[in-house]
Chain A
């Protein structure tokens, strides 16, 4: 008797509960996500433009120099190291592909174009993201949760002008320079594996490097590195600056999650924007 009664109650509750419309749920889910993405992109655009226009102040120059040192000079070592081994691996792989077709003479061309047009800007940007981008997010995030950014506002110092603008300016300057380092060291790395270890003629290699590289290729690499620089700095600074707005965590945990998000989003956006920029400049 008791069981029957329970069963009846359950049935009546099931009947009274509103039925979920799958289509409605689908659009509701994606609608919310789209609106949130739209809001975030809008906020990030405002964040970027407000910071960008504050670069052009005399008082920003010392801070820009300091950030160039941090983002640029201090990333040289890791960029050079990664570039050398990337070049060596490329030299090795391409040698064994080209030797099948008896075309090892074009190793220099293949290396130069691959590095200058594609791998140099992308890998340099990813390396800078890992080294400097994560540090930026963590530093700004800690400044946010310890009220240092609020303190700036109370001192009538614009936090965007003080914290973000110098980093954007430094990225615009540092990313192309580090990309140049990456390209040059990568070419040397490929020469080492291809010519020194595998016996390709050095003169042929460097002749092909110089002869096949056009100014458009170099400029294309620079355009990409500037776009990557702006994206990386904006994403990393945005994540740190609004670390207190996270709904999934608070305090130190929110800084750690913001740093992870910043690195992941930056790396994804480097690859996405790489395709977009390549399709525009090719």
Chain B
């Protein structure tokens, strides 16, 4: 029998009221070490308030917050300092010091909270600046750089002290779809690279599903769901009507394709009325080596490639009644309800030729912008087809398609 995991941070019956307005009503949830946990909820429901409790900026009226099983309000000063020293907070509006350069902002926590020498501070700050692709703007002021760069500067500052827990308060607010996904993928990449535990507030449904290990849903002053993103999609709660219908559009913002939930709904609607022995084709596309793409071309360029792939899939497979969805950060699934496997192969050949001839050009352009001396990059697009029947679960058909995947396009410098 598997031993239950011990939560890193646990809220137990935490309540908070401001004046006469109750914001949190005996909420319980757990955050586990090394995971990305995303807190979602409608505006003004207390998501930021919840986050601020963790870092001690607010204190609960009732209930307890536990860190590795120990109540944080009963910690000694030394324990509290150790606890708080492990946490970084990335503010919704970045909260960068506008009278300081990017470098000074990033170096600031080291300068004032450590006894490191100037050279060591410089080395560590510059390392983070380099990792977040801000070298060229290190001596610029926040007002002189773009919104995405400001986010990265805030992230670099949050990570410079090597925290083991990072709290992100709506890191994607006010960004365009490409930038939003670039920031989310940046969070995911750094979380993998540095291994911190992340708690993130986000409205970006369904994009956050791709990077989150766990979802917490805050509704009507309570946590109404905590679990993995797959289970959240099946949530049967009024919250789903209010939050999801208000936040989740039919198409994913980045790619213009169906969200995973609507993909399933469309699948059930289209294929439930078909004869049991009718067949359809399904395809799965994977953009290989995505980490290398991010590293060499940057997160924005990676998101543009993902979008480009999505639009080519839609162009070729949508034309014959197919519908597609982004399944993971680098995988697309397509169902062709009215095509057999032979027709699907023909469409796939057309798609391959078009994408190789035109789609990959966008990638060349991106590489050109970054310069020729950025090092060599190699990645491929894999695609696989499978035949399904209405009574077979879509997941099983997609698994077959994944098994049949082969390389259809390769980019090599």
Could you list which residues of chain A lie within 8 angstroms of chain B, going by C-beta atoms? Answer: 59, 139, 143, 146-148, 150-151, 153-157, 162
- Name 16 A/B residue pairs within 8 A (Cβ), A-sorted: A139-B99, A143-B97, A146-B93, A146-B95, A147-B91, A147-B93, A148-B96, A150-B91, A151-B91, A153-B57, A154-B87, A154-B88, A155-B108, A156-B84, A157-B108, A157-B109
A contact residues around B81 at 8 Å (CB): 156
The answer to the question of B112 belonging to the interface, with a C-beta cut-off of 8 Å to chain A, is yes
B55 A155 Cβ-Cβ under 8 A: no
Smallest CB separation, A54 vs chain B (Å): 12
Min Cβ gap A138→B in Å is 12
On chain B, the residues within 8 Å of A154 by CB distance are 55, 57, 87-89
Q: How far is the CB of A124 from chain B (nearest CB, A)?
A: 26
Interface string of B105-127 (1 = CB under 8 A from A): 00011001100000000000000
| B87 contact set on A, CB distance < 8 A | 154
Judging by beta carbons under 8 Å apart, are A150 and B113 in contact? no
Name the interface residues of B148-169: CB closer than 8 Å to any CB of A: 157, 161
Report Cα–Cα, A50/B217, bound state, in Å.
40
Distance (Å) between the CB of A267 and the closest chain B CB? 27
Closest Cβ of chain B to A151, distance in Å, is: 4
Question: Are the CB atoms of A151 and B89 closer together than 8 Å?
Answer: yes
Chain B residues proximal to chain A, CB less than 8 Å: 55, 57, 81, 84-85, 87-89, 91-93, 95-99, 108-109, 112-113, 157, 161
Q: Find the residue from A143, A148, A162 having the highest chain B CB count within 10 A.
A: A148
Neighbouring B residues of A143 by C-beta, 8 Å: 97
Nearest opposing residue in chain A for B87, CB measure: A154
How many angstroms between the C-alpha atoms of A79 and B223 in the bound complex? 60
| Residue of A139, A148, A150 touching B57 (CB-CB under 8 A) | A150
A156 nearest CB across to chain B (Å): 5
| Contacting residues, chain A, for B57 (C-beta < 8 A) | 150, 153-154
Q: Report which of A59, A148, A150, A153 forms a contact with B97, defined as CB distance below 8 A.
A: A148
Which 9 interchain pairs have the tightest Cβ spacing? Answer: A151-B95, A154-B89, A147-B95, A155-B109, A157-B112, A156-B113, A147-B91, A148-B95, A154-B55
Contacts of B108 in A (CB 8 A): 155, 157
* Chain B: CB-nearest residue to A62: B111
State A157–B97 Cα separation when bound (angstroms): 13
Residues of A close to B85: CB separation below 8 A = 156
- In the assembly, what is the distance between CA of A139 and CA of B97, in Å? 11
Closest chain B CB from A121 CB (angstroms) = 31
Enumerate chain B residues within 8 angstroms of A139, measured Cβ to Cβ: 99
Determine how close the nearest CB of chain B comes to the CB of A16; give it in whole angstroms: 28
Given the complex, which residues of A lie within 8 Å of B89, measured CB to CB? 151, 154
Instruction: Report the bound CA distance from A147 to B85 in whole Å.
Output: 19
The residue on A at minimum CB distance from B56 is: A153
Given B95, B99, B109, B157, which contacts A150 in the complex, CB threshold below 8 Å? B95
A47 to B55, CA, bound (A): 22
What residues of chain B lie closer than 8 Å to A148, measured between beta carbons?
Answer: 95-98
List the B side residues contacting A153 at CB < 8 Å.
57
Min CB distance, A60 to chain B, in Å? 10
Q: In the complex, how many angstroms separate the beta carbon of A59 from the nearest chain B beta carbon?
A: 7
Bound together, the chains give a CA A156 to CA B157 distance in angstroms of 13
Measured CB to CB, the closest approach of chain A to B405, in angstroms, equals 45
By a CB distance below 8 angstroms, the chain A residues around B55 are 154
Docked complex Cα distance between A151 and B142 (Å): 15
